[in-house]
Structure 1
Amino acid sequence: MSRYIGSVCKQCRREREKMFLKGERCTTKCTLEKKRGKNLPGQHGVSRSKMSEYSVRLREKQKARRVYGLNEEQFRHYFARAERMKGLTGENLLKLLETRLDNVVYRLGIATSRKLARQIVTHGHVRVNDRKVDLPSYQLKAGDKITLKEAAKENIQVKRSTERPGNLPSWLSFDKSNMTGTVAGIPMPDEFAFPIRSQLIVELYSK
């Protein structure tokens, strides 16, 4: 499956919203805070005509895909799973995305961005319940414990990440002394990592 390897700053400009795709570097080097960042990507930008209902829904879906680093096929797979679950499809979708292993590694503060978290996982540095897991999409559940290999604990980038002050959502806990994270519960809508109007995504795929 192909993955976007271009400028992530262009993605934020396209959505006209700061999505923190580069982690902490986004706070000081964001093009949206500069004059040229106000325009959409392209030589002269794109006209700001009023968006249709379809465009609004599409942009919300694209934003969600970019925040969690998924391609269209992967995203549709998650949506299909969310539809089969009990409850609201939109909330189910975001719960599934939030409990991906790479996202949890990021939200625990082990990595400064989801991209770095994905690399840490794929390189085999993460263990779930004392078993090595190198699949970023691995679905975590309440009670799961996430630890790092000893070598990874000494990684400079990981050390810098865990030393940063940060607010953990209530469904996660992290012991910095031994760098162990725990999924304490199920993520609730007000604790999702990024404000995404999931109902618009449901409406888009329902058409």
Structure 2
Amino acid sequence: MSRYRGPRLRIVRRLGELPGLTRKSARRAYPPGQHGQARKKRSEYAIRLEEKQKLRFNYGLSERQLIRYVRKARRATGSTGTTLLQMLEMRLDNTIFRLGMAGTIPGARQLVNHGHVTVNGKVVDIPSYQCRPGEVISVKDTEKSRRLVQQNLEFPGLANLPSHLEFDKTKMTGKVNSVIDREWIALQINELLVVEFYSRQA
């Protein structure tokens, strides 16, 4: 499946709050569709699928990309679920979102794709680029790039800056100090259910 480009609030109503996907909140507390208000008992599979979909839609990944991340997380040492979340959080598009340079992850992805962002002084236009501790992320030194980010900084997606990042608003420069801690991940998710979902497939 390719990346989702449909109505975002429909996804929020179905899966709950997704801070990376949209800043809007659903007015109705039940899922969309004709049978949205009918309460059904969910199977174990449905619960795991929902957690997986939360992860996929929040970070804007295709199914193939998420499977690739799960496989990488399995090969790494430590908890697979925590490693998976850390890898997704350390993506360049998500790091820009967490720095407040974009209101949503899709907005941050667009900034990267259009070449408005530099890493260690070089333009990087790959949203999935893995940020490493010590790297400096800044806005390209052009009037258009700085104006775009300045507008976004007035309405950041999340108020709190995670402990692994630092950001200088005047210079529009951020620095990655370490890998993110689990407690700073904004998405409310049970990552173990995602790992279990893929245990037979990935």
The CA deviation at 1:38 is: 2.8
RMSD over equivalenced CA pairs, Å: 1.5
TM-score, normalised via structure 1 length: 0.89
What's the counterpart of residue 55 of structure 1? Answer: 46
2:36 is aligned, of 38, 45, 48, to 45
Aligned partners of 1:56, 1:46: CA distance in 2, in Å? Answer: 17
Trace 1:33-182 onto structure 2 (pairs within 5 A). Answer: 34=27, 37-45=28-36, 47-151=38-142, 152-155=145-148, 158-164=149-155, 166-182=159-175
Larger mean CA deviation between 171-180 and 145-154 belongs to: 145-154
Aligned partners of 1:22, 1:77: CA distance in 2, in Å? Answer: 25
Q: After TM superposition, which residue ranges in structure 1, 4 or more long, deviate above 6 angstroms?
A: none
Q: Give CA-to-partner distance per residue, 1:67-114, whole Å, 9 cap, x none.
A: 101111110011011001000000000000000000000000000111
Contact 1:82 1:90 in 2 (8 A): yes
Aligned partners of 2:192, 2:108: CA distance in 1, in Å? Answer: 28
The CA deviation at 1:2 is: 2.3
Contact 2:2 2:63 in 1 (8 A): no
SS in structure 1 opposite 2:137? strand
Q: Which amino acid aligns with 1:193?
A: A
Contact 2:89 2:180 in 1 (8 A): yes
Count of aligned pairs between the two proteins: 195
The CA deviation at 1:181 is: 0.5
Aligned partners of 1:8, 1:202: CA distance in 2, in Å? Answer: 25
The CA deviation at 1:194 is: 1.1
Is residue 190 of structure 2 the alignment partner of residue 191 of structure 1? no
Q: Which amino acid aligns with 1:2?
A: S
Residue ranges of structure 1 left out of the alignment (5+ in a row): none
Contact 1:102 1:117 in 2 (8 A): yes
Decide which structure has greater helix share.
1
Identity %: 46
Aligned partners of 2:48, 2:186: CA distance in 1, in Å? Answer: 19
SS in structure 2 opposite 1:201? helix
Task: Select the structure with the greater relative contact order (CA < 8 A; seq sep ≥ 6).
Answer: 2
